[in-house]
Amino acid sequence: MTNPLLTDWNTPFQIAPFAKISDDDFEPAFEAAMAEARQEITRIADNLEPPDFANTIEALERADEALDRVLSVFFNLAGADSTPAREALQRAFSPRMAQYGSEITMNAALFARIEALWDARDELTLTAAQSRLLYLTRRSFVRAGAQLRGAARDRLAVVKERLAVLGTRFTQNLLADERDWFMPLDEAGLRGLPDFLVGSARAAGAELGAGGPVVTLSRSLIVLFLQFSPRRDLRKRAHRAWVARGAGGGTTDNRGIVAEVLKLREERARLLGYANFADYKLETEMAGTPQAVEDLLMQVWRPARAAAQADATALTTMLHDDGINGELEPWDWRYYSERRREAEHDLDEAELKPYLQLERMIEAAFSCAGRLFGLQFAPLDAALYHPDSRAWEVTRDGTHMAVFIGDYFARGSKRSGAWCSTMRQQQKLAGDIRPVVVNVCNFAKPESGQPALLSYDDARTLFHEFGHALHQMLSDVTYQSISGTSVARDFVELPSQLFEHWLEVPQVLAEFATHAETGEPMPTALLDRLLAATTYDMGFQTVEYIASALVDLRFHHGPAPVDPMARQAEILDQIAMPRAIGMRHATPHFAHVFAGDGYSSGYYSYMWSEVMDADAFEAFTEAGGPFDPDMADRLERFILSAGGSDEADVLYRKFRGKMPGVEALLKGRGLTDTE
């Protein structure tokens, strides 16, 4: 039987034929595609013709097309709908992909061809895009060890392969901990919870076959439980399980993995001539140096900590007023903060959530994309990988732009968090290839027949991930290596965080925040209270984020710690972390940093990008308002369509005319730089 992963896909817009693909198809498809890619690399490296841009650089761009197609489907499924078979395949594929990558970057003949082109670059008649791709290709080879020789070259290959193994183990351990823990709720445990939360707990229990409502470790469920449960004992139990992910002992404990990862990353950096991994990693980012990152984070840390300390005092008073002696604990913060928000802003989540329907928020995101960039979204009848996922065709002026897939509900087979990925990237080298873009979220699934209701934070997450999707959909470059989100890590969050601002535009909420039962728009008074409270508890949110970013940075900027948990505690003590606030991502479940290299030494990038997104939205405000057509056109031309076609700061200056300072960020978060 023909392997469906290796045939032409006669499906709408060549979406993967998920109904025909079984887990048994992946390994033979991987083997065949890997063999084809290796043959192509050998052909390029051994070509007797003198190197030119087409037979070397462009040929490299196309060398692993089949492999990329197989793995884009596989890794999307492995993250969003894991099975034991897929987990086993992931453990097998990851080190082999690392080995394959090393084979390419350490192929002396291949690198010699690239180096020859680099040396002759001033004599070559290259376009700007070709010059950029040549530069990035050579840089990636050098940073991957192409100039190493002998034992150092061999050791680096071993290190990278081992890191791939450890990243996969970290991810799967975390998924197992999140999937296996739940806390049943009896009638006493349900008392005091709003109806929407009870419904989500019942739906989670039904999915698990638990025989009743449960709290799971899905952020969209456990955070709400910590906000609303009056049962301090249950909040404590749930919170401790949540923060203990990856640190419970046994086969899923990630602490030993973290120690080995940090040691190997340091070794990798030193083999390449860098003092530490942070120096290596940040060399190609906008920040440039660890000190620049530290300076930004500490500039925001001081006012954020002061705001959080003031809030902690107010919440402690509320705790004591309830007759509870002692200090405010991490499992108390969200509960008392929610009560304080209701009192100070007259804003009750139970009153707010019916106006934030998932379906209407999707419509809102689509509407904003239409008004800004002329995009239209039509439901697409296509067989996808899970019943909860759905697709839309994206067009502009009748022209196909992309396929967009949304997968919004939490389930045990899906890793935590929210992300944007692609099953196909935009490029023009092999024809006018348009992308297939996927947004994955973990919103609490409602009971059958009930509408899905979001928290305001959930709605922001939806807009955030859709901002990434727009970066992919509007990409307009020739080469896949620089398309879409293929940009500096501390620039990649700019489009996503910028798009969040449109959720706060009053006219958007007035149109799309409609009541799930009555269909009535959100009352003006409630809308005003919601917008007035957007910076509420910002001290807490900023502190938990910056603490994680600083731990990540300091882990990698200096000798690798023998005991990462002791080092984490030391760092938190150095910055005087408020005791009632935990890191947003503690080390044993810090998937951004330890599931792979993506955000290692780079978790700060959300805040680095936020400096720009605050300034970029201010540009719309200074012009004709949030839907100013000239600013939208500049945003698309210089950022969203440009991919990695130039350095990030160059692209931003083309859009805005200057680089911003931190002031707009502090203003947007409602923080002032005072103790």
pLDDT value at 106 more than 70: yes
119 and 221 housed in the same domain: no
CA nearest 290: which of 612, 610, 601, 665?
Answer: 601
Cα 375 versus chain centre, distance: 23
Catalytic, out of 465, 500, 610, 636: 465
* Residue 134 and residue 216 in one domain: no
> What is the Cα 549 distance to its own chain's centre?
14
| Across 548-573, average pLDDT | 97
Question: Do 464 and 382 belong together in one domain?
Answer: yes
The span from the CA of 104 to the CA of 52, in Å, is: 18
pLDDT of res. 674: 44
Q: 215 - beta bridge partners?
A: 183
Q: Which amino acid is at 534?
A: T
Domains in the chain, number: 3
Boundary (domain end) residue, out of 503, 532, 561: 532
Which residue is it, tokens 């351990």?
173
Quick check: 71 pLDDT over 80?
yes
Question: Which pLDDT band holds residue 658 (cuts at 50, 70, 90)?
Answer: very high
C-alpha to C-alpha distance for 177 and 395, rounded to whole angstroms: 41
- Is 465 among the catalytic positions? yes
pLDDT at position 312: 97
Q: What per-residue string of b and e applies to 561-571 under the rule 16 or more CB within 10 Å gives b?
A: beebeebbeeb
pLDDT of the residue at 212? 95
188 with 39, same domain: the answer is no
Q: What is the pLDDT of residue 675?
A: 43
Residues 406 and 457 in one domain: yes
Q: What is the C-alpha radius of gyration for the chain, rounded to an integer number of angstroms? A: 25
Q: What is the pTM of this model?
A: 0.95
Percent above pLDDT 70 for the chain: 99
Residues 136, 229 within the same domain? no
Paired with 184 in beta bridges are 214
Question: Would you say how long the chain is, in residues?
Answer: 675
Burial environment of residue 66 by CB neighbours within 10 A (0 to 12, 13 to 18, 19 or more): buried
Per the structure, the complete domain to which residue 404 belongs is given by: 353-532
Helix, strand and coil in the chain, % to nearest 5:
60, 5, 30
Residues 88 and 191 in one domain: no
Q: Which band of pLDDT confidence, cut at 50, 70 and 90, is reported for residue 349?
A: confident
Q: How confident is the model at residue 348 (pLDDT cuts 50, 70, 90)?
A: confident
Assess if residue 137 is contained within a domain.
yes
Band (668; pLDDT cuts 50, 70, 90): confident
Instruction: Show Cβ contacts of residue 409 under 8 Å, excluding neighbours closer than 6 positions.
Output: 388, 441, 442, 443, 444, 445, 452
pLDDT band at 221 (very low <50, low <70, confident <90, very high): very high
Q: Which residues are CB-contacts of 330 (< 8 A; sequence separation ≥ 6)?
A: 239, 243, 580, 581, 582
C-alpha to C-alpha distance for 455 and 296, rounded to whole angstroms: 30
Domain boundary among 228, 245, 262: 245
Q: What end-to-end distance do the CA atoms of the chain give, in Å?
A: 69
Backbone region of residue 250 per phi and psi (left: phi > 0; alpha: psi in -120 to 50; beta: other values): left
How high is the pLDDT of residue 80?
A: 96
pLDDT of residue 642: 98
Query: For the range 97-103, what are the long-range contacts, defined as Cβ-Cβ under 8 Å and sequence gap of 24 or more?
Result: 97/71, 97/164, 98/160, 98/161, 98/163, 98/164, 99/157, 99/161, 100/34, 100/37, 100/38, 101/144, 101/160, 102/144, 102/145, 102/156, 102/157, 102/160, 102/161, 103/38, 103/41
Is residue 411 included in any domain, yes or no? yes
8 with 101, same domain? yes
- The three-class DSSP label of residue 477 is coil
Mean of all residue pLDDT scores within the chain: 95
Tell me, rounded to whole angstroms, the distance of Cα 134 from its chain centroid: 28
pLDDT 10s digits, 307-329: 999 999 999 999 999 999 999 99
Tell whether 87 and 207 lie within a shared domain: no
Q: What is the pLDDT of residue 347?
A: 87
- Residue 221 placed within a domain: yes
**Biggest CA pair distance of the chain:** 83
* pLDDT tens column, 74-104: 999 999 999 999 999 999 999 999 999 999 9
DSSP output for 460-473: HHHHHHHHHHHHHH
Residue type, 111: F
Higher pLDDT, 137 or 180: 137
Q: Is residue 467 part of a domain?
A: yes
HSE-CB at 286 with a 13 A cutoff on CA atoms is: 28
What does DSSP say about strands 399-409 and 389-396: parallel, antiparallel, or unpaired? antiparallel
Banded model confidence at residue 350, pLDDT cuts 50, 70, 90: confident
Residue 449's CATH number: 1.10.1370.40
Q: For 616-636, write each residue's pLDDT tens digit.
A: 999 999 999 999 999 999 999
d(CA 648, CA 611): 14
Residue 673 maps to a domain:
no
| pLDDT per residue as tens digits for the range 156-211 | 999 999 999 999 999 999 999 999 999 999 999 999 999 999 999 999 999 999 99
pLDDT at 448 over 80: yes
Mean pLDDT over 568-590 rounds to: 97
Q: Rounded to the nearest 10 degrees, what angle do helices 564-574 and 255-271 cross at?
A: 80
Residue 410: inside a domain: yes
* CATH number, residue 52: 1.20.1050.40
Domain boundary pick from 472, 502, 532: 532
- Domain presence at residue 646: no
Q: Are 557 and 291 in contact (CB under 8 A)?
A: no
Residues 403 and 501 occupy one common structural domain: yes
108 has a pLDDT exceeding 60: yes
Residue 668 lies in a domain: no
- Looking at the structure, do residues 451 and 362 belong to the same domain, yes or no? yes
**Closest Cα to residue 23, out of 63, 66, 95, 73?**
73
196 and 112 part of one domain: no
